[in-house]
């Protein structure tokens, strides 16, 4: 990765954030511009710019992120109804090029909002 992202700086402790979960492979923070009553970001400590930039060596991290989402959602009181979003690339709405998963919950999503 050529330049440091805001997420890398949060992970290093250079920028404050509302951290709701952390372990050896990832952290989760509250989104500063939430799109749902509960909007959390799950961020791997390893700076992978986009999902398509992940390599076979990242398989453990990717699987861990998915398992962490369930644990984080449960601890956040979302229950078993939530949405997980990964934006891959600028055309898909990615604005920070450090892979992250959005957990959106405590909101009923309409069929139109789901986009499919």
Q: Just list the catalytic residues.
A: 100
Pick the closest to residue 84 from 20, 38, 17 (CA basis). 38
37-59: b (≥16 Cβ within 10 Å) or e: ebbbbbbbebbbbbbeebeeebe
């Amino acid at each position: 990765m050529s330049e440091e992202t805001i997420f890398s700086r949060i992970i290093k402790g250079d920028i404050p954030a509302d951290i709701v979960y952390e372990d050896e492979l990832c952290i989760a923070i509250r989104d500063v511009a939430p799109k749902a009553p509960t909007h959390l970001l799950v961020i791997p400590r390893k700076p992978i710019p986009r999902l398509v930039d992940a390599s076979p060596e990242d398989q453990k991290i990717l699987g861990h992120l998915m398992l962490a989402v369930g644990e984080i959602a449960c601890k956040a009181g979302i229950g078993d109804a939530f949405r997980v979003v990964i934006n891959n690339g600028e055309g898909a709405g990615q604005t920070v090029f450090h892979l992250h998963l959005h957990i959106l919950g405590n909101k009923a999503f309409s069929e139109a909002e789901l986009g499919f």
